[in-house]
Amino acid sequence: MTEPTPRRSELTAHLAHDFRNALSCIHQFGNILVDGLAGELSDEQREYVRIMLENASKIRKLLDSALEGTADSQENSTNKIERVSKLET
Amino acid sequence: MDRTKILVVDDNPTIRKGLSVRLRANDYEVLFAEDAISATAALVTERPDLVILDLGLPAGDGFVVMERLHKNDRLANIPVIVLTGRELADNRDRALQAGAAAFFQKPVEDGPLLFAIRKALDVSRGELRFDD
């Protein structure tokens, strides 16, 4: 498997930031609708918005897990480099 | 009595709109800035009661805004709540050390954000200490 480079890490952080902003908008406006701040919803409409919100939360969890994986991978990569350096000295 | 004034600093117009709907529904007056320069100007001219601050901003990031705020005696005790899409690891401790009253990563639940706003306002008005 290819190890993440600094350029890739930067790109990942940038993508994560943009994902979080987009999720934040879905989350904010979904809750505004559910709470009736833009007018009352029917029970059916409220249920559909809840489904959207639940899935936005799932995407957030997936994103956090994926980023943890990237961080672990980077840490392992650093450890490998340190180990190699120690072996070389 | 004047309504509590909150300055929302975020370069994303949709985030600003969503926050304004939620904050106005909770009886706050909401002002906006979309970059570090207009945020600094709004702090001086409007003197808000609290700032909700994104970190990734054009023309200087949120840390620059906090630094300017804390260097000005007239503004230094305005509480700042950081709300950002940036990573926790690189930014949470730095923001709290820079004087933020609370740090949230987007997307944030409305309940904890509104609670943090009320608490930070109580602390700045001397009605509560942070460790209460």
Is residue A2 included in any domain, yes or no?
Answer: no
Residue A89 lies in a domain: no
pLDDT above 50: residue A62: yes
Task: Return the structure tokens found at A89.
Answer: 């000295």
Residue A73 has a pLDDT of: 55
- How many Å apart are CA B48 and CA B45, to the nearest integer? 9
Residue range B32-51: mean pLDDT, rounded: 96
| pLDDT level of residue A4 (50, 70, 90 thresholds) | low
Distance of alpha carbon B71 from alpha carbon B119, whole angstroms: 23
Within a domain: A1: no
Quote the domain boundaries for residue A37. Answer: 8-82
Assigned domain for A3 exists: no
Joined tokens for residue A78: 């650093």
Is residue A23, in this structure, part of any structural domain at all?
yes
Q: Give the per-residue pLDDT at B64.
A: 95
**Distance (Å, whole) CA B43 – CA B78:** 9
Over residues B55-83, mean pLDDT? 93
Output the average pLDDT for chain B. Answer: 93
Question: What pLDDT band is residue A87 in, cutting at 50, 70 and 90?
Answer: very low
C-alpha to C-alpha distance for B85 and B106, rounded to whole angstroms? 5
Q: What percent of chain B has pLDDT over 70?
A: 95
Average pLDDT, chain A: 80
Q: At residue B130, does pLDDT exceed 60?
A: no
The residue-averaged pLDDT of B77-99 equals: 93
The structural domain count of chain A equals: 1
Q: pLDDT-based confidence at B101, cuts 50/70/90?
A: very high
Q: If contacts are CB pairs under 8 Å, which of residues 63-82 in chain B contact chain A?
A: none
Identify which has the larger pLDDT, B44 or A76.
B44
CATH fold for the domain made of B5-124:
Rossmann fold (3.40.50)
Q: How confident is the model at residue A64 (pLDDT cuts 50, 70, 90)?
A: confident
Distance separating alpha carbons of residues B72 and B50, to the nearest angstrom: 15
Which residues 21-80 of chain A have a CB within 8 Å of chain B?
A: 21, 23-29, 31-32, 35, 37-38, 56, 60, 67, 71
Q: Which of B106, B108, B110 to mutate to test the interface with A (most CBs of A within 10 A)?
A: B106
